[in-house]
Amino acid sequence: MDRLHTMQVFVAVADAGSFARAATRLKLSPPAVTRAVSSLEDRLGVRLFNRTTRSLSLTEAGEDYLSECRRLLEDIEGVEQIVRGRAATASGHLRVTAPVTFGRKCTTPLLSDFLHAHPRITATLLCLDRVVDIVEEGIDIAVRIAHLPDSTLLARRIGHVRQVMVASPDYLANAPRLKTPADLERHRTITTSALAHAGNWRLIRDGKPYSAPISPCLDVNDAAAAIAEAERGGGLVMALSYMVEDAVRDGRLKLLLDRFMPDPVPVSLVYPPTRKLSGKVRAFVDFAAPRLSARLGEMELARQR
């Protein structure tokens, strides 16, 4: 039987002066209380109570043990209060990672607001366009824009983003017609490693996955650079919707072949598994999830028909 539990039962019996009254206070059965005290006495090898049919009193050993139990239980309660207080005030240093463009547009301003609301927390934000091993690299929370593989990591889904195809009005004014994925082979395309797959763009045709052949004129390892080239009239580019939101709304880029685009990509907050979340992580997840979800909704681009 758990030692701390038997100590708590012993103190309750001593305070109540009765096994039955202690059982009521602890919401246990009288036999369970009796067994706990008997187990404790057997382990210690001494009697803690003098028992008669009419009274219950502590032995000398019981008096000494009661004093030490009270001190120990008070110390444990004090430690728990300290930990609960730290969790409630949410303090410490938080390490967060997010994709570069999403981090710049969404995570940085949100993290700034969070730090103002929680002055006892400091933070490091790593904006990286690679999948980070958050356990190996000591990351508390990662923003992941992907279909998550099965893993031991915990995740809270906060929304989704769409893959879109865009080009500038200047490019489209002088380019061949573009009505179906089959027309892509006649167009200049700009690719990025994240969304190009061995000379194909993965689309949907007739409700099924379809790899559309392309002949890239330029391959860039940075999405922002590829989008900038598309704005200059360099060709078509595939990107995630939040990356081109402003350019589409301003008319600098046009959505293309929207009905052939793949299903949306989930956006999640991912963090290492722990028995109980630390105060700083729980505070950030609770703060960030609804705000990032709302921001994703604001950045959503209406589908073009």
> Is the domain of 275 the same as that of 155?
yes
> Is the domain of 274 the same as that of 224?
no
130, part of any domain: yes
153, part of any domain: yes
> Is the domain of 60 the same as that of 131?
no
Mark which of 66, 88, 110 sits at the end of a domain: 88
Mark which of 39, 57, 88 sits at the end of a domain: 88
pLDDT given at position 174: 92
pLDDT given at position 304: 61
- Report the CATH number at residue 51: 1.10.10.10
pLDDT given at position 134: 87
The b/e string for 17-27 (b: 16+ C-beta within 10 A; e otherwise) is ebbebbbeebe
304, part of any domain: no
Residue type, 208: K
For residues 205 and 181, the answer to whether their CB atoms sit within 8 Å is: yes
pLDDT given at position 53: 79
> Is the domain of 244 the same as that of 279?
no
> Is the domain of 134 the same as that of 215?
no
Residue 215 makes CB contacts below 8 A (sequence gap 6+) with 185, 189, 199
Mark which of 88, 111, 132 sits at the end of a domain: 88
**Residue 295 structure tokens:** 């921001």
42, part of any domain: yes
**Residue 199 structure tokens:** 């000379």
- pTM, entire model: 0.67
305, part of any domain: no
Q: What is the pLDDT along the chain (305 residues), one digit of tens a residue?
A: 588 889 999 999 998 888 998 999 899 999 999 999 999 999 999 999 998 878 889 999 999 999 899 888 888 877 776 666 655 568 889 999 999 999 999 999 999 999 999 999 999 999 998 888 888 888 999 999 998 886 778 889 999 999 999 999 999 999 999 999 999 999 999 998 766 565 788 898 878 888 889 989 999 988 999 999 999 999 999 999 999 999 999 999 999 999 999 889 999 999 987 655 678 898 999 999 999 999 998 888 777 65
From the list 163, 160, 148, 161, the residue with the least C-alpha distance to 270 is 148
pLDDT given at position 181: 92
> Is the domain of 121 the same as that of 180?
no
> Is the domain of 83 the same as that of 104?
no
> Is the domain of 167 the same as that of 255?
yes
Structural domain of 41: 3-88
Q: What share of the chain is helix, strand, coil (3-state, %, to 5)?
A: 45, 25, 30
**Residue 273 structure tokens:** 């598994």
Residue 4 makes CB contacts below 8 A (sequence gap 6+) with 73, 76
> Is the domain of 84 the same as that of 229?
no
290, part of any domain: yes
76, part of any domain: yes
* Total structural domains within the chain: 3
> Is the domain of 281 the same as that of 140?
yes
> Is the domain of 135 the same as that of 7?
no
State the Cα–Cα distance between residues 4 and 181, nearest whole angstrom: 69
203, part of any domain: yes
Helix (H, G, I), strand (E, B) or coil at 263: coil
- Report the CATH number at residue 102: 3.40.190.10
> Is the domain of 256 the same as that of 193?
yes
